[in-house]
A and B are shown apart, each in its own frame.
Chain A
Amino acid sequence: MKGKLLFLMRLRGILQKETLQILRDPSSIALAIVMPMVLLFLFGYGVTLDADHIPTALVDDDGSSVARELIARFDLSPNFELLPTRTMAEAEELIRNRTAHAIIRLQSDFSAQMLSGQEAPVQLIVNGIDANRARLIQGYVRTALGNWSSMRLARGETAGLPAVMVSPRVWFNESTESRNFIIPGLITLIMTLIGILLTALVVAREWERGTMEALLVTPLRRIEILIGKIFPYYILGMLGMGMSVLVAILVFQVPFRGSVPALLLFSSLFMLASLGFGLLLSAAIRIQFVAAQVSIVAGFLPAFFLSGLIFDLESTPLPIQVISHIVPARYFVDISHTLFMAGDVWPVLVPGGLVLAAMAIIFLRLAYGNITKRLEK
């Protein structure tokens, strides 16, 4: 009974100390609150894969009413921003100086071909350097041409519809806004930063300042040291997560279709896995400078590039896909995308959650094993 009381008292002491330290240390606040906000706004505004209002040079060598009707179709589309030019040379110059990304050209025989019942060619030239955007432009042009044909057919005019038509539908993110994809993924990155970078820094600082030595000679048990480190940073990470979710929903209008308990459950698992990893790193590192470098290389970079945050993992070479499976962020990026856009899809959430739980247990167990009450390892 007495032992339990002492245990609780020591735990209270160390928890109180960690909490006060977080509250009073500007760098913890900066990492836990300012940094997430900066990242959210930077990515929310600065990173988008959508292509709207693409500046497109238009060369209309035909000038007939049919041609104008087709051009009006492009003009109405939110995807294009038409820049009429008189000659092809002029249009090519626009591409070269990056004023336009594509040229749509209707040759002089366009209407004649059309009226004589032959195939009327529409010429499209894209700047292929940004391959992704080039492909999007090609897709948009195809859709616009298809729509025009359907419209003409509906009016009883010749249209030349293809035999098989595709009717595309995108689920979960109907308007295909890349922000809806990037922001939920970014939350993973933010939690990684708090879980790994912040904890590694804090523990290293205790070594540098000599406070760790003073803690080690008290009757503090190893488990108490571990809990004392996990609990406050778990709360901090969850706060960062909650704040990011609110900003995502309120500022960036990202839909949230899952349930809050599921969000709390799975983000907790991910937070614990990150904390475990961070504490494992910090057990071996006693210098803040090294802690920052290692946690950026081992925590931040994988969470960015090997998690599917921006680049699709399934299209990467096999070795990279294999490595990505040991990155906790990979699982939570999936979970976060699903929770935001699709809802509580348990067949997606449960396997990812189980892997995260396993990682949390393994990392925390290893971190516990690495805590030593001596100065040497």
Chain B
Amino acid sequence: MSSPPQITPQPAETQAKGILLVRELCKSFSDKNKPEVKALDSVSFVVHRGCITGLVGADGAGKTTLIRISAGLLVPTSGSVTVLGRDSIADTLEIQSRVGYMPQKFGLYQDLTVAENMTLYADLQGVAGTERTEKFTRLLQMTSLGAYTGRRAGALSGGMKQKLGLACALIKSPEILLLDEPTVGVDPVSRRELWKIVNELVERDGIGVLVSTAYLDEAEKCDQVVVLHEGKVLAEGTADAFIKPMAGRTLLLDASPDRNLRTIYTHLSGRADVVDVTIRSGKVRTVLAEKVDATTLTDTLGPITTHQAQPTFEDAFMALIPRSDHQHRPSSVGSTHPGHDQDEIVRADNLQKLFGTFEAVKKLTFTVRRGEIFGLLGPNGAGKSTTFRILCGLLPASGGEISVAGHDLRRSRARARSRLGYMAQQFSLYGQLTTRENLGFFGKAYGLSGKRLKTRIEWAFAEFSLAKWADTPAGALPGGNKQRLAMAVALLHEPDILFLDEPTSGVDPFARREFWLRINTFAEQGTTVVVTTHFMEEAEYCDRMLIMSQGDTLAFGTPTEIRELAKTADTPHPTMDDAFIALAEGTVITPQSAPATPMGEGKRP
């Protein structure tokens, strides 16, 4: 991770170089029936020319509101934003002609071509003549969209859309660029390219950039980071300033003969002296709470190899956010189930899916064993969801054979479906029904009744801390609780197989951690889990995975095996992101020949 040269401006210079000044900014939203929501609570900071300022925080921290106020789209409740010396409300039009803004949804017209979208924004921004020609040439070259000028924006891939959105925001050589979560739902390759463009602009044109992001690793690419939490600034400074105090608090733990990664992981996540636990690169990565001695870990875990790790911004961030807000403690750990064996509970043989002439899934072959966590990975549009829906019996396959617990769910009788749990990509429970009603309905749907239904609902309330939301309509549940409810519904009838489609998409880092911890717990208890995700680092939590790209198998195997593929002299310890980029760029030979037999045995690491 290469950080641009650090600029640490002196306080005296601050006002002079500050091009976007946020002062005591407050913003409240009120709705007739709901209590007033304070989205921003006296926020102050400064964005400098020639710097990238990152706005980091969980969902609902107030990032989007702040950027919208800066663009003059919202009026502050109190306080002010001064952009290029002008007030964001009094001089909105003047500011808007000097600022580039890319909203979360890109703001592209899907029916218009790349060139037409750019022409529109050039007209609106008053860029004409040779200036326009030069600008277009440069932007197209920068975004490598030159070959696609005649293509409709709606037909571009996610990464290309995002680059086009950026190009449109850059047409008038803005003095400040405002980017609202520009990398959500974009594959790692495109994310890298986008950051390259932004860095180039800052270095060559010296513009100021304010970018909001929920990807914590991106914060390290910023010159200055502002951490927002529930509308307040929690901390501010360079990424290094955040990382430095973390020295010595980050440990990597190896699996030992009597404790595998997953048990270490679940054990540690329940401890009060640990701030954060993740599985990265085949090791358990632990961030200790302040002033905790590393040796306390070995006391309970027994003989275990630990290494010091380079702390990252993510570690600092997790340590910074108040713990009670996000900590989840799994209820019961300990293997209650016979565990996993070599039974192939899911089998796909030459699975193929055509939409018209478009081949969305190209002859996939794989198996899932009982009790394992199986990941279907790949960027948006790779065919993961299609494969997933075919497995669940929601879509007919165009060719090939599938069997889930011995049935083809599309043809079998309804009863065959009663042993599986399903959680859809978007929140898909009945929004008007309360938490209790949703649980009750799905419980009955799966044949629970009477006392058993009652105990299971009580279990769900306790396990997912949903009791206080029991009578709230599901649609009105705050963020992470929707996710919890969806999972509670999927698990209510204690299924043998759990199907989860992009369960962590659009979810903040805390909810993602909580989610994986739970999945782990259930897998420990013997449930088979099939999960899709476009977050490469989440692959680490899977026993085995299938990486897809454009409907095809890119790689198949355990996380270690896949990381091995990207190992080169330059990157001796590749991350999953590195592996994916290497695979996508074709710099490694993919084991296409026999995807059905994974390289090596899929034993737990």
Question: Would you call A211 and B107 a contact (CB within 8 A)?
Answer: yes
Question: Would you call B73 and A375 a contact (CB within 8 A)?
Answer: yes
Question: Would you call A211 and B96 a contact (CB within 8 A)?
Answer: no
The docked-state distance in angstroms from the alpha carbon of A16 to that of B116 is 9
The docked-state distance in angstroms from the alpha carbon of A241 to that of B58 is 53
The residues of A that contact B75 with a CB separation of less than 8 Å are 374, 376
**B 247-279 binary contact with A (CB < 8 Å = 1; else 0):** 000000000000000000000000000000000
Q: Does B200 contact A (CB under 8 A)?
A: no
A-B contact pairs, 19 of them (CB 8 A): A13-B121, A13-B123, A13-B124, A16-B116, A17-B116, A20-B112, A21-B109, A209-B105, A211-B109, A213-B107, A214-B106, A214-B168, A215-B124, A217-B96, A219-B124, A219-B125, A374-B74, A375-B68, A375-B74
**Per a CB cutoff under 8 Å, which of B73, B108, B123 touches A216?**
B73
The stretch of A4-12, A125-133, A328-336, A363-371 that contacts the partner chain: A4-12
Q: Does A24 contact B (CB under 8 A)?
A: yes
Question: Would you call B119 and A13 a contact (CB within 8 A)?
Answer: yes
Question: Would you call A16 and B92 a contact (CB within 8 A)?
Answer: no
The docked-state distance in angstroms from the alpha carbon of A216 to that of B112 is 18
Question: Would you call A210 and B128 a contact (CB within 8 A)?
Answer: no
The total of chain A residues at the interface (CB under 8 A) is 28
The docked-state distance in angstroms from the alpha carbon of A21 to that of B103 is 21
Of all A-B residue pairs in the complex, the 6 with the closest CB atoms, nearest first, are A214-B107, A13-B123, A210-B105, A219-B97, A24-B111, A218-B124
Question: Would you call A218 and B72 a contact (CB within 8 A)?
Answer: no
Question: Would you call B103 and A210 a contact (CB within 8 A)?
Answer: yes
Q: Taking beta carbons and an 8 Å cutoff, which residues of A are in contact with B?
A: 6, 9-10, 12-14, 16-17, 20-21, 24-25, 209-211, 213-221, 373-376
Question: Would you call B107 and A210 a contact (CB within 8 A)?
Answer: yes
A22 to chain B, nearest CB (A): 9
The docked-state distance in angstroms from the alpha carbon of A24 to that of B109 is 11
Question: Would you call B74 and A376 a contact (CB within 8 A)?
Answer: yes
Q: A21-B109, A218-B96, A376-B74 are in contact. Are A210 and B104 (CB under 8 A)?
A: yes
The residues of A that contact B96 with a CB separation of less than 8 Å are 217-219
The residues of B that contact A220 with a CB separation of less than 8 Å are 124
Question: Would you call A17 and B72 a contact (CB within 8 A)?
Answer: no
A132 to chain B, nearest CB (A): 45
A338 to chain B, nearest CB (A): 40
Q: Does B511 contact A (CB under 8 A)?
A: no
The residues of A that contact B101 with a CB separation of less than 8 Å are 214, 217
**B 113-154 binary contact with A (CB < 8 Å = 1; else 0):** 000100111111110100000000000000000000000100
The residues of B that contact A209 with a CB separation of less than 8 Å are 105, 110
B69 to chain A, nearest CB (A): 10
**Nearest A residue (CB) for B112:** A20
Q: Does B99 contact A (CB under 8 A)?
A: yes
Q: Taking beta carbons and an 8 Å cutoff, which residues of B are in contact with A?
A: 68, 71-75, 92-93, 96-97, 99, 101-112, 116, 119-126, 128, 152, 168
Question: Would you call B99 and A25 a contact (CB within 8 A)?
Answer: no
The residues of A that contact B107 with a CB separation of less than 8 Å are 210-211, 213-215
The residues of A that contact B124 with a CB separation of less than 8 Å are 10, 13-14, 215, 218-220
Question: Would you call B74 and A17 a contact (CB within 8 A)?
Answer: no
The residues of A that contact B71 with a CB separation of less than 8 Å are 217
Q: A10-B123, A209-B105, A219-B93 are in contact. Are A20 and B116 (CB under 8 A)?
A: yes
A345 to chain B, nearest CB (A): 44
A1 to chain B, nearest CB (A): 13
The docked-state distance in angstroms from the alpha carbon of A6 to that of B127 is 9
The docked-state distance in angstroms from the alpha carbon of A214 to that of B72 is 12
Q: A13-B122, A219-B124 are in contact. Are A210 and B93 (CB under 8 A)?
A: no
The residues of A that contact B97 with a CB separation of less than 8 Å are 218-219
The docked-state distance in angstroms from the alpha carbon of A283 to that of B121 is 23
Question: Would you call A17 and B73 a contact (CB within 8 A)?
Answer: no
**Per a CB cutoff under 8 Å, which of B93, B105, B121, B125 touches A221?**
B93
B76 to chain A, nearest CB (A): 11
The residues of B that contact A24 with a CB separation of less than 8 Å are 111-112, 152
B68 to chain A, nearest CB (A): 6
The docked-state distance in angstroms from the alpha carbon of A13 to that of B104 is 23
The docked-state distance in angstroms from the alpha carbon of A376 to that of B122 is 26
Question: Would you call B120 and A374 a contact (CB within 8 A)?
Answer: no
B156 to chain A, nearest CB (A): 14
Question: Would you call B168 and A16 a contact (CB within 8 A)?
Answer: no
The docked-state distance in angstroms from the alpha carbon of A375 to that of B70 is 12
A334 to chain B, nearest CB (A): 38
The docked-state distance in angstroms from the alpha carbon of A217 to that of B179 is 13
The docked-state distance in angstroms from the alpha carbon of A266 to that of B71 is 43
Question: Would you call A217 and B122 a contact (CB within 8 A)?
Answer: no
The residues of B that contact A20 with a CB separation of less than 8 Å are 111-112, 116
**Nearest A residue (CB) for B168:** A214
**Per a CB cutoff under 8 Å, which of A25, A214, A215 touches B111?**
A25
**Nearest B residue (CB) for A213:** B103
The residues of B that contact A219 with a CB separation of less than 8 Å are 93, 96-97, 124-126
The residues of B that contact A9 with a CB separation of less than 8 Å are 123, 126, 128
The residues of B that contact A10 with a CB separation of less than 8 Å are 123-124, 126
Question: Would you call B123 and A16 a contact (CB within 8 A)?
Answer: yes
**Nearest A residue (CB) for B152:** A24
The docked-state distance in angstroms from the alpha carbon of A209 to that of B109 is 8
**Nearest A residue (CB) for B68:** A375
Q: A14-B124, A17-B112, A24-B111 are in contact. Are A217 and B99 (CB under 8 A)?
A: yes
Question: Would you call B110 and A14 a contact (CB within 8 A)?
Answer: no
Question: Would you call A13 and B120 a contact (CB within 8 A)?
Answer: yes
The residues of B that contact A6 with a CB separation of less than 8 Å are 126
Question: Would you call A373 and B111 a contact (CB within 8 A)?
Answer: no
Question: Would you call B73 and A213 a contact (CB within 8 A)?
Answer: yes
**Per a CB cutoff under 8 Å, which of B109, B112, B125 touches A218?**
B125
The residues of B that contact A375 with a CB separation of less than 8 Å are 68, 73-74
**Nearest B residue (CB) for A2:** B126
The docked-state distance in angstroms from the alpha carbon of A214 to that of B126 is 16
The residues of B that contact A376 with a CB separation of less than 8 Å are 74-75
The residues of A that contact B119 with a CB separation of less than 8 Å are 13, 16
The residues of A that contact B93 with a CB separation of less than 8 Å are 219, 221, 373
